């Protein structure tokens, strides 16, 4: 019967409007496209009314308020989202930082930005956040302090660890890297650097284990493969090394960092021709072309592969970029001598510093210069630790003596590890133990608030003139008159007197004690001293030198045993 109702057919063609959040959202978007911000804001507010628990609608409303200059209103909405709707909307902190910056409330902007960086895991606005940090740095006249960036979790700490590695502070770096790896198991760069830290510390098995973990997760990780190749060389695993080198030899990395890693690895492994090709490629890159050390590495690879003219060219460029450094001049002079004598090829280390023998010649009479250079130059510092593990015996001894001048916790740790090495020379270990004892003694005095003194008469409660006479005689008669040897004898003598005090022997034979002191210092330094040689110079018997030298070498345990075995003579009745 409805057919007879007027207008009924028209009503059937009407489509009812469903007023919901989507409806108002679409209207708001259309208004935005027409730059009708007032209407857009009205529609977004309606969308919020229909879906109050949807944070996106609130964010859209905050965005419109910000666009219209109502930054405070926008921040009220953003704060409502974080407090009442969805606290996981960490991007709201970034939006609030923008609003505060527009209000010129830079302190509040900084705090909101730090919160964003520390809580946001997606890193959606990282580029914009970095730009804002530059702005805030300018406005507040100080850098923004960010403890960690969650979207780059471990990155800040990793940079700190890398800096420690470059400074030669391997134990500290390893400790920090272990924490990063524990918190971020998939952070492969941290794992690779942890392996290197262990390697430089001499913990080879641990280093190889870490590399194995990396390659289990990423079989093609170039840094790990390069490190593994170096470990194979250390272990003299020829089969594993050749198999890996075959793979690395045909690898052409795309990223410049990978090119540098492969180049240095090939150089260390003696594949200088391959290293030269990779280093040359880097010199053509603007990012690296001002790095003097790169030209040194390229020159070394050229020299070691017989390309002497190329080596000269690259060392000259190195000298132009770093005129204060003597490395390029030294090797250019070496090449000149080689050409004049026509004596063949020259094999050069990739380290960007003078060879150890040359360094110690320069520093022999200037301990202060040596100390300053070793402390300030991370390359030299790290190479000292390397030479302590892998150098020739005479180099190891020089390094041990030099480490005493650096005198920090990392040095003490390195010496402890050296003493634990089963195959090291006994005399080298004795020298290391002596240095370590002195360093730990000085550390103890400083910890107790005492200042170490260079004056010998402050080492003991009293200082007798015959003790000083022994020392003066040993120094004046000594074959070597360098400052280090004098200092070494001073320390040996004061250590002996301190250890024996107050039960000190009578100093009747000053020449005997002086000869023994010079003999002991010479032996620790690796000199070929004999009792007979010293006896002749001091005009005493060799048995006298031997007797006093044994007393100088007496340990606390020996001394206690001698006391226990001593039986005084009794008067016969």
Residues 545-560 pLDDT 10s: 888 888 877 644 444 4
Query: Do 139 and 161 belong together in one domain?
Result: no
Work out the end-to-end distance of the chain between its first and last CA atoms, rounded to an integer number of angstroms: 155
User: Is the separation of the CB atoms in 105 and 94 below 8 Å?
Assistant: no
pLDDT of residue 452 exceeding 60: no
pLDDT of residue 426: 77
Query: Do 397 and 313 belong together in one domain?
Result: no
- In the chain, what is the greatest distance between 2 CA atoms, to the nearest angstrom? 157
Query: Do 108 and 67 belong together in one domain?
Result: yes
Choice between 23 and 273, residue whose per-residue pLDDT is larger: 273
CATH code, domain with 237: 1.25.40.10
Choice between 397 and 221, residue whose per-residue pLDDT is larger: 221
Give the model's confidence band at 298: pLDDT under 50 very low, under 70 low, under 90 confident, else very high.
Answer: very high
Choice between 558 and 567, residue whose per-residue pLDDT is larger: 558
pLDDT of residue 152: 59
What count of other Cβ atoms lies within 10 Å of the Cβ of residue 217?
A: 13
- Picking from 341, 372, 404, the residue at the C-terminal end of a domain is 341
Q: What is the mean pLDDT of the chain?
A: 75
pLDDT of residue 178 exceeding 60: yes
pLDDT of residue 375: 58
Q: Which residue reads 């109702």 in tokens?
A: 5
Query: Do 208 and 104 belong together in one domain?
Result: no
Rounded Cα distance between 504 and 510, Å, is 14
Is residue 25 domain-resident? yes
Choice between 399 and 7, residue whose per-residue pLDDT is larger: 399
Rounded Cα distance between 446 and 178, Å, is 30
- State mean pLDDT over 295-318: 91
Query: Do 113 and 238 belong together in one domain?
Result: no
Is residue 315 domain-resident? yes
Choice between 154 and 237, residue whose per-residue pLDDT is larger: 237
Is residue 382 domain-resident? no
pLDDT of residue 488 exceeding 50: yes
User: Is the separation of the CB atoms in 484 and 367 below 8 Å?
Assistant: yes
* Residue 105, CB-side half-sphere exposure with 13 Å CA sphere: 14
Range of the domain at 419: 390-447
CATH code, domain with 551: 1.10.472.10
* Listed residue (131, 129, 179, 174) closest to 151, CA to CA: 129
User: Is the separation of the CB atoms in 459 and 515 below 8 Å?
Assistant: no
Q: Residues 510, 513, 517, CA angle at the centre, nearest 5°?
A: 135
Query: Do 207 and 318 belong together in one domain?
Result: yes
pLDDT of residue 144 exceeding 70: yes
Q: Worst-scoring range by mean pLDDT, 29-38, 77-86, 473-482, 527-536? A: 29-38
Is residue 210 domain-resident? yes
Q: Worst-scoring range by mean pLDDT, 418-432, 445-459, 539-553? A: 445-459
User: Is the separation of the CB atoms in 534 and 513 below 8 Å?
Assistant: no
Give the model's confidence band at 121: pLDDT under 50 very low, under 70 low, under 90 confident, else very high.
Answer: low
* SS3 at position 90: coil
pTM: 0.49
User: Is the separation of the CB atoms in 471 and 490 below 8 Å?
Assistant: yes
Query: Do 72 and 178 belong together in one domain?
Result: no
- Picking from 94, 116, 145, the residue at the C-terminal end of a domain is 145
Q: Worst-scoring range by mean pLDDT, 36-45, 77-86, 91-100, 379-388? A: 379-388
User: Is the separation of the CB atoms in 140 and 109 below 8 Å?
Assistant: no
Tell which phi-psi region holds residue 505, choosing left (phi > 0), alpha (psi between -120 and 50) or beta: beta
Query: Do 435 and 333 belong together in one domain?
Result: no
For residue 384, CA distances in Å to 86, 192, 398, 402, 474 come to 55, 22, 9, 9, 30
pLDDT of residue 563 exceeding 70: no
Query: Do 40 and 132 belong together in one domain?
Result: yes
Q: Which residues contact 51 (CB under 8 A, 6 or more apart)?
A: 21, 57
pLDDT of residue 15 exceeding 70: no
Is residue 511 domain-resident? yes
Query: Do 104 and 165 belong together in one domain?
Result: no
* Listed residue (273, 271, 326, 274) closest to 296, CA to CA: 326
Query: How far from the centroid of its chain's Cα atoms is residue 453's Cα?
Result: 31
Q: Which residue reads 């002749």 in tokens?
A: 536
pLDDT of residue 26: 67
Query: Do 91 and 240 belong together in one domain?
Result: no
pLDDT of residue 433: 80
Please list the helix, strand and coil fractions of the chain in percent, rounded to the nearest 5, in that order: 70, 0, 30
271-297 pLDDT, tens digit per residue, is 999 999 999 999 888 777 788 889 999
φ, ψ for residue 289, nearest 5 deg:
-70, -10
User: Is the separation of the CB atoms in 404 and 438 below 8 Å?
Assistant: yes
Is residue 442 domain-resident? yes
Rounded Cα distance between 361 and 366, Å, is 10
Q: Residue 86 has which token pair? A: 């969805």
Query: Do 137 and 172 belong together in one domain?
Result: no
Is residue 360 domain-resident? no
Q: Worst-scoring range by mean pLDDT, 15-24, 100-109, 201-210, 344-353? A: 15-24
When divided into structural domains, the chain yields a total of: 4
Is residue 441 domain-resident? yes
């Amino acid at each position: 019967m409805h057919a007879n109702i007027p207008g009924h057919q028209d009503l059937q063609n009407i489509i009812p409007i469903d007023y919901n959040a989507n409806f108002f959202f679409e209207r708001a978007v259309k208004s935005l496209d027409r730059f009708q911000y007032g209407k857009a804001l009205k529609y977004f507010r309606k969308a919020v009314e229909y879906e109050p628990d949807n944070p996106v609608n609130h964010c859209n409303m905050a965005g419109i308020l910000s666009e219209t200059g109502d930054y405070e209103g926008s921040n009220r909405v953003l704060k409502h989202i974080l407090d009442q709707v969805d606290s996981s909307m960490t991007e709201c902190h970034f939006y609030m930082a923008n609003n505060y910056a527009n209000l010129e409330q830079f302190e509040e902007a900084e705090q909101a930005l730090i919160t964003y960086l520390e809580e946001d895991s997606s890193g959606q606005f990282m580029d914009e956040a970095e730009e804002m940090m530059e702005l805030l740095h300018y406005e507040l006249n100080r850098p923004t302090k960010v403890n960690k960036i969650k979207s780059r979790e471990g990155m800040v700490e990793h940079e700190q660890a890398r800096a420690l590695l470059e400074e030669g502070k391997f134990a500290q770096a390893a400790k920090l890297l272990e924490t990063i790896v524990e918190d971020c198991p998939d952070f492969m760069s941290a794992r690779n650097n942890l392996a290197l830290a262990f390697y430089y510390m001499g913990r080879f098995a641990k280093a190889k284990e870490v590399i194995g973990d990396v390659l289990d997760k990423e079989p093609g990780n170039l840094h790990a493969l390069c490190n593994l190749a170096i470990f194979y060389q250390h272990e003299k695993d020829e089969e594993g090394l050749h198999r890996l080198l075959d793979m690395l030899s045909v690898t052409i990395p795309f990223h410049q960092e990978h090119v540098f890693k492969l180049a240095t690895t090939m150089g260390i492994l003696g594949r200088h021709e391959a290293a030269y090709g990779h280093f040359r490629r880097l010199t053509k890159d603007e990012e690296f072309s001002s790095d003097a050390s790169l030209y040194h590495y390229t020159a070394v690879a050229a020299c070691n592969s017989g390309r002497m003219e190329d080596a000269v060219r690259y060392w000259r460029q190195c000298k132009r970029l770093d005129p204060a450094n003597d490395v390029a001049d030294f090797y250019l002079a070496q090449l000149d001598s080689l050409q004049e004598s026509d004596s063949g090829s020259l094999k050069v280390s990739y380290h960007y510093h003078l060879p150890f023998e040359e360094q110690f010649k320069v520093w022999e009479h200037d301990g202060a210069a040596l100390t300053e250079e070793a402390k300030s130059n991370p390359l030299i510092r790290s190479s000292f630790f390397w030479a302590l593990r892998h150098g020739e015996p005479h180099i190891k001894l020089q390094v041990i003596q030099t480490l005493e001048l650096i005198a920090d916790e990392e040095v003490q740790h390195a010496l402890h590890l050296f003493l634990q090495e089963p195959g090291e020379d006994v005399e080298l270990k004795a020298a290391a133990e002596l240095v370590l004892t002195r360093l730990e003694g000085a550390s103890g005095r400083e910890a107790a608030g005492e200042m170490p003194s260079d004056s010998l008469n402050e080492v003991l409660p009293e200082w007798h003139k015959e003790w000083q006479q022994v020392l003066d005689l040993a120094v004046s008669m000594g074959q070597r008159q360098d400052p280090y040897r004098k200092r070494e004898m001073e320390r040996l003598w004061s250590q002996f007197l301190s250890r024996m005090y107050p039960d000190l022997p009578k100093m009747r034979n000053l020449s005997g004690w002086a000869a023994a002191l010079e003999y002991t210092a010479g032996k620790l330094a690796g000199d070929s001293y004999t009792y007979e040689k010293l006896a002749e110079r001091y005009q005493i018997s060799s048995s006298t030198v031997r007797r006093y030298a044994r007393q100088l070498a007496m340990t606390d345990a020996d001394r206690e045993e001698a006391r226990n075995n001593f039986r005084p003579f009794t008067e016969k009745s």
